[in-house]
Amino acid sequence: MKSVVRTNQKSFLSVLVLVGTTLFGMQCSAATPNILFIVSDDHGWGDLPSNWDDTEVRLPTLDALARSGVRFPNYHTVPLCGPSRACMFTGQYSTENGMWRGPGSQPLGSPGYRGIKRDVKMVSEYLSEAGYATGAFGKWHLGSLEGEVPNDRGFDEFHGFLGGAHPYWIAGSRSKIMHNREHDSLAKGHATELFTQWAEDFIRENAGKESPFFCYLAYNAVHGPLRVEKSKPASAPEAWVKKALDRGVSFLRSDYVAILEHMDHNIGQLVSVLDELGVAENTLIVFVSDNGGCTMEEGAAGGRFPGNNGPLRGGKATTYQGGLNVPFLMNWKGKLPQSGLVSDSHVMHCDIFSTLLDAAGLTVPESNGKNPLRGMSLFPHMLSDGKTSVPERTMIFELWGNIGVRRGDYKLWASVGRDYSPDWDALAAEISQKDLELFDLQRDVAETNDLRTEHPEMYASLKAELLDHLSGINADYPSVVLSDVKSKAMPKQQKRSKTIPPKDRSPEKFFQARDRNSDGEITLEEFIGNPDGRNVAALTKRFQQFDANGDGALGIDELKSN
């Protein structure tokens, strides 16, 4: 692994961006590059073979892209699908851009609204305004209300699903697949293959045009549902499952491994298309996972699935490294280091926003909406083969009371419960009274040894930065008159029925009806539904009875066990 010298001088940032833009202009052709931005789902750090040898997964396409590009083993993100994507698209922390958790069903302006603020501009909007043809294919999960869907956020074309989870096998009228703003009743086949084909069609249509393209391809691989029991059908094509089993992959991991390898094969098809069309040398490829992998631990967030986060503790929805630290690489044939660069620089989700704007020759703004931009372009670092360092900075991650704060090798961690987010002042007040944990990740990657009493100055410094951040957030949404806002979910057929207690119908049907944003869990507000005329206190008590692990969300297993 190549070593990269770090610096504490944050004032270098603006200079580095300027230098990077100059280097970028000198080393790249005059043509504005195409961008192929690929996101995998719940794909753990340890299941990228170039990160971690101890995995049965074989991903030759991604390994090849890493070998002839730049891989960042120390990339960090928010450990949940919606907030992670929102940070990549806005260049801000999830505490700032409005997507502090997965998107909800509350209309804009109402208490508890979860969605990217309307005055916060997404990278797709910047690129569209700059003349890019823009297409989004696969999983959106950044809102399904009017004003939130891809066609409202800079995309000329959208073909995929809006919610958090979707079966891999798509069967026409029973699916949630959309084409632009309408339900696509004709879509049929395997999600990975369909999303790839739609992306390929978009690339073929736009590759020969004068304007560049921005293709956002968001697979649902390797998000559940996945087969972990022999009585269930596989989500991967059987031929791919057989390949895994034939070489000795355990049954438990077989569907999981097959889904990832099938995805890698399809990515390879798109890379071949870029070569075939003669645009590979003018196309930046970015690959990243949205958050850490699910685990088989009891009560694991996102469902119990056999993800591999390598030596890292925790997984999806935790702010241990297994949730935050995920696969990330970039490749640009003939532009980025062709001998491969493995950077140990600490980078994060917000950097993708700045890097894509820089690639397009656009000025990276200092703020987005009413809060500052947190990301920086990684081009100065990459184009210099790592000689231009990424400045050391403090990175802050929050997910409903789960806190991770990293600077250098030190990390502050806490879990204070879900009673405060998104009241950031209240969260700051609670944290100020708590003893947080401090880890040295260089010596303790498993995050087991709390060093706060051994390094009081580092502990105090990181805690002060966290409190300063939480206290300085402009949490206001743009003013809105609720009567003027349509809260209609898209598509129409995704509207949900009134709450019917689980005892009155099967747990599966109840779960499907109440999981309004299709993120694989039911919150208290989803469980209650419209509170008008309902016994909220009784429903809340019942919800708590079902919530066996006390995490504030119900999985299908918790419903079935009652």
Contact between residue 513 and residue 500 where contact means Cβ atoms under 8 Å apart: yes
Task: Could you please state the CATH topology (level 3) that the domain comprising 395-471 is classified under.
Answer: Arylsulfatase, C-terminal domain (3.30.1120)
Alpha-carbon dihedral angle through residues 365, 369, 375, 378, given to the nearest 10 degrees: -40
In this structure, whether the domain defined by 12-383 belongs to CATH 3.40.50.300 is answered with no
What is the reported pLDDT for 16? 42
Backbone dihedral angles phi then psi of residue 43, each to the nearest 5 degrees: -95, 105
Band the pLDDT of 301: cuts 50, 70, 90. Answer: confident
Residue-wise over 284-318: b if at least 16 C-beta within 10 A, else e? bbbbbbbbbbbbeeeebbbbbbbbbbbebbbbbbb
CATH no. for 496-560: 1.10.238.10
What is the reported pLDDT for 341? 97
Alpha helices, DSSP H, located in 360-414: 379-383
pLDDT tens digits, one per residue of 240-278:
999 999 999 999 999 999 999 999 999 999 999 999 999
Look at residues 484, 487, 496 and name the one whose alpha carbon lies nearest to residue 526.
496
- The structure's pTM equals 0.83
pLDDT tens digits, one per residue of 81-91:
999 999 999 99
Pairing of strands 522-523, 553-554: antiparallel
Residue 422: alpha-carbon gap to chain centroid: 19
How many Cβ atoms are within 10 Å of 101's Cβ, its own excluded?
A: 22
What is the reported pLDDT for 332? 97
What is the reported pLDDT for 173? 75
pLDDT tens digits, one per residue of 35-55:
999 999 999 999 999 999 999
Q: How far apart are alpha carbons 109 and 106 in whole angstroms?
A: 8
Q: Where are the domains of the chain?
A: 12-383, 395-471, 496-560
